[in-house]
């Protein structure tokens, strides 16, 4: 294996220029600009690395799919997931070099999509190249799923995985994306929360009437909405919707062990959010972040919001909300429970679901997970940490729930890589490490 690592170091300049070629090609899923051209370019790069590659159509942007079959019958199969689409580069005036003209400055490569996610997915392809160029066998089977819609909600991913179950069969899925923790700590994510986005709308009268003539006589949509919201959470913040907490698992010893290994800086969190005090301790914080669901008001609309005053009694009110969901909570079931709750407390209100994603959780003690973590430890030494998730929601359930395999989230990019922002960048030392990491995973996944 040493010679593969040495080869990566010796040829990193060439490898970097291949990464440059990929980021030079725009692939903005929000507008569609360059998406298909990028899929073709990526497919060509994979083919010339010796990967059997196809562009597979979905209802939306195509998936670039690749396979390396293993010569060994009993070999393991690892699936790498990533995305070749990028965020729009605007505002252009804040970029120090043009977003689709890769530029190296201060040991970093700057370009839109370099960290999120083209540089990261190229790490696997370059690792494969290093095996090929040194005439070394890859001991496992490898599959690659690179989608073109991640930055637009991954709408086609679940149906794609559903329709290609057999083709995608594997022992583990690795979603390599996102930034590391501070201090170049690579946090391997064992899951993520799901999410349900919804809106509640109320109409209490035909029009906003004069508050002197209709106030306290005609029902006020604002007060009615507040009354309804008050039935959903108590003073302590506990969610009161019937059945909402059903199936929420109590944290296991293993969960608490993982939490114990994570960093926690109360002052830092206090300053980050600009709050006068931060009451949670480490266990409380990570339990809320990873192991408990939430019910959050995203925005409320009602009555007059303009300058000065307008003395009306509003007839309409609406609230946009989201619920972050933990494993064993089904977003559709939760939506039904919310509907029932609203019907009981405000029969005329309307609930609309705007979107949802299932939660996912993987057992880090599975041998195949341990293999990946130990491969990463060989490259990042003592800077690998396990985490239960980042609080947000990713489509990892397509691997854990649809394919039924463990899934790990692995971030290769520097913490300050500025994904989605101007001057997105990838530190060259970490990009090089990423190629070593993917190579080590391929080697160890026997």
Cβ 151 to Zn ion shortest distance, Å: 5
Instruction: Tell me: cis bond preceding 91? Omega within 30 of 0 counts.
Output: yes
29 contacts 129 by C-beta, under 8 angstroms: no
Instruction: Tell me: cis bond preceding 117? Omega within 30 of 0 counts.
Output: yes
Q: Which two tokens stand for residue 2?
A: 């040493």
Cβ 417 to Zn ion shortest distance, Å: 11
Cβ 173 to Zn ion shortest distance, Å: 18
- 314-333 residues in contact with Zn ion (CB under 5 A) are none
Cβ 89 to Zn ion shortest distance, Å: 13
Query: With contacts defined by CB under 5 A, how many residues of the chain interact with Zn ion?
Result: 1
**Interacting span for Zn ion (CB under 5 A) from 34-42, 108-116, 262-270, 275-283:** 108-116
CA distances from 387 to 161, 181, 190, 192, 442 (A): 25, 11, 6, 10, 23
Q: Which of 137, 142, 150 is nearest to 174 (CA)?
A: 142
Comparing CB distances to Zn ion, the nearer of 23 and 379 is 23
The whole-angstrom distance between residue 43's C-alpha and the CA centroid of its chain comes to: 24
Comparing CB distances to Zn ion, the nearer of 116 and 255 is 116
Cβ 115 to Zn ion shortest distance, Å: 9
- 129-158 residues in contact with Zn ion (CB under 5 A) are none
What letter would DSSP give residue 251? P
232 contacts 241 by C-beta, under 8 angstroms: yes
Comparing CB distances to Zn ion, the nearer of 116 and 224 is 116
Cβ 177 to Zn ion shortest distance, Å: 7
Cβ 152 to Zn ion shortest distance, Å: 10
Does residue 424 interact with Zn ion by CB under 5 A? no
Comparing CB distances to Zn ion, the nearer of 313 and 417 is 417
289 contacts 277 by C-beta, under 8 angstroms: no
Cβ 99 to Zn ion shortest distance, Å: 14
Residue 346: partners with Cβ closer than 8 Å, 6 or more residues away: 200, 202, 224, 227, 228
315 contacts 209 by C-beta, under 8 angstroms: yes
Cα separation, 312 vs 169, in Å, equals 61
Comparing CB distances to Zn ion, the nearer of 28 and 372 is 28
Residue closest to Zn ion when measured from CB atoms: 116
Comparing CB distances to Zn ion, the nearer of 116 and 322 is 116
Comparing CB distances to Zn ion, the nearer of 147 and 171 is 147
446 contacts 139 by C-beta, under 8 angstroms: yes
Grouping H, G, I as helix, E, B as strand and the rest as coil, residue 34 is coil
- 23-52 residues in contact with Zn ion (CB under 5 A) are none
Comparing CB distances to Zn ion, the nearer of 95 and 286 is 95
Does residue 116 interact with Zn ion by CB under 5 A? yes
Cα separation, 350 vs 212, in Å, equals 28
Cβ 113 to Zn ion shortest distance, Å: 9
**Interacting span for Zn ion (CB under 5 A) from 116-124, 162-170, 273-281, 307-315:** 116-124
**Interacting span for Zn ion (CB under 5 A) from 24-32, 114-122, 140-148, 374-382:** 114-122
Cβ 261 to Zn ion shortest distance, Å: 27
**Interacting span for Zn ion (CB under 5 A) from 52-60, 109-117, 138-146, 387-395:** 109-117
Comparing CB distances to Zn ion, the nearer of 80 and 131 is 80
Comparing CB distances to Zn ion, the nearer of 154 and 287 is 154
CA distances from 303 to 202, 248, 260 (A): 12, 37, 48
Cβ 390 to Zn ion shortest distance, Å: 13
Q: Which of 52, 30, 233 is nearest to 149 (CA)?
A: 30
Give the alpha-carbon dihedral of 223, 225, 227, 229, to 10 degrees: -140
DSSP 52-99: EEEEE--SSSPEEEEEE--S-TT--EEEEEEE--B-----GGG-SS-T
Comparing CB distances to Zn ion, the nearer of 114 and 202 is 114
**Interacting span for Zn ion (CB under 5 A) from 16-24, 58-66, 110-118, 372-380:** 110-118
The whole-angstrom distance between residue 126's C-alpha and the CA centroid of its chain comes to: 24
- Applying CB under 5 A, the residues found at the interface with Zn ion are 116
């Amino acid at each position: 294996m040493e010679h593969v690592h040495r080869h990566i170091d010796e040829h990193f300049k060439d490898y970097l220029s291949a990464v440059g070629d990929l980021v030079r090609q725009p692939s903005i899923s929000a507008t569609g600009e360059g998406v298909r051209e990028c899929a073709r370019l990526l497919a060509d790069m994979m083919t010339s690395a010796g990967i059997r590659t196809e562009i597979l159509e979905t209802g939306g942007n195509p998936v670039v799919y690749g396979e390396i079959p293993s010569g060994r019958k009993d070999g393991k199969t690892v699936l790498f997931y990533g995305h070749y689409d990028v965020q729009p580069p605007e505002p252009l005036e804040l970029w120090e070099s043009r977003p689709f003209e890769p530029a190296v400055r201060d040991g970093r490569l700057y370009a839109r999509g370099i960290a999120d996610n083209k540089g990261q997915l190229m790490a696997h392809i370059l690792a494969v190249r290093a095996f090929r160029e040194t005439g070394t066998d890859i001991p496992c089977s490898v599959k690659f799923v690179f989608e073109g819609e991640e930055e637009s909600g991954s709408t086609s991913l679940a149906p794609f995985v559903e329709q290609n179950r057999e083709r995608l069969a594997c022992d583990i899925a690795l979603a390599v994306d996102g930034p590391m923790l501070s201090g170049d700590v690579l946090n391997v994510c064992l899951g993520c929360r799901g999410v349900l986005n919804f809106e509640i709308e109320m109409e209490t009268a035909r029009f906003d009437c004069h508050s002197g003539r209709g106030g306290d006589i005609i029902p006020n949509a604002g007060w009615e909405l507040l009354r309804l919201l008050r039935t959903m959470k108590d003073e302590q913040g506990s969610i009161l919707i019937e059945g909402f907490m059903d199936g929420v698992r109590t944290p296991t010893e293993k969960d608490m062990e993982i939490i114990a290994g994570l960093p926690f800086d109360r002052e830092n969190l206090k300053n980050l959010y600009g709050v006068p005090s931060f009451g949670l301790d480490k266990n409380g914080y990570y339990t809320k972040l990873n192991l408990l669901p939430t019910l959050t008001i995203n925005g409320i609309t009602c009555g007059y919001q303009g300058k000065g005053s307008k003395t009306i009694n509003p007839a309409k009110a609406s609230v946009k909300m989201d619920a972050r969901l933990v494993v064993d909570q089904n977003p559709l079931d939760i939506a039904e429970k919310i509907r029932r709750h609203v019907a009981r407390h405000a029969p005329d209100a309307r609930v609309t679901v705007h979107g949802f994603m299932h939660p996912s959780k993987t057992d880090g003690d599975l041998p195949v997970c341990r293999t990946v973590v130990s491969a990463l430890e060989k490259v990042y030494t003592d800077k690998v940490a396990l985490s239960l998730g980042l609080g947000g929601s990713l489509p990892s359930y397509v691997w854990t729930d649809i394919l039924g395999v463990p899934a790990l989230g692995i971030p290769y990019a520097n913490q300050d890589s500025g994904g989605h922002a101007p001057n997105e960048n990838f530190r060259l030392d970490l990009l090089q490490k990423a190629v070593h990491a993917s190579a080590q995973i391929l080697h160890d996944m026997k």
